Amino acid sequence: DIQMTQSPSSLSASVGDRVTITCQASQDISNYLNWYQQKPGKAPKLLIYDASNLETGVPSRFSGSGSGTDFTFTISSLQPEDIATYYCQQYDNLPLSFGQGTRLEIK
């Protein structure tokens, strides 16, 4: 099974800050990596697919990069509505697996 390791597990930042989250796969997953945002009490929302493609309707301040085993998710200028938990997810192999999540808070 592929293990996904996200860091940090929590993050506190100020409005306007650049925020970066990393996700490392236990083996090469090419670019089969997605990023989701989940707000409290809500379902996950797809933000980035195939490592770097922005889902339709998602603000351009969100971006992703990487391939192989190392991936990065970036919010270029943090907004108050970005407070949420973010998850990476691989789909290179079954079972599908997620990182443990990064809880993002406003400082």
Q: Which of 50, 65, 105, 106 binds other proteins (CB under 8 A)?
A: 50
User: Is 87 among the residues that bind other proteins (CB under 8 A)?
Assistant: yes
Name 32's Cβ contacts closer than 8 Å, sequence gap at least 6. Answer: 50, 51, 90, 91, 92
Size of the site for other proteins (CB under 8 A): 24
User: Is 7 among the residues that bind other proteins (CB under 8 A)?
Assistant: no
Point out which residues bind other proteins (CB under 8 A). Answer: 32, 34, 36, 38, 42-46, 49-50, 55, 87, 89-91, 94-101
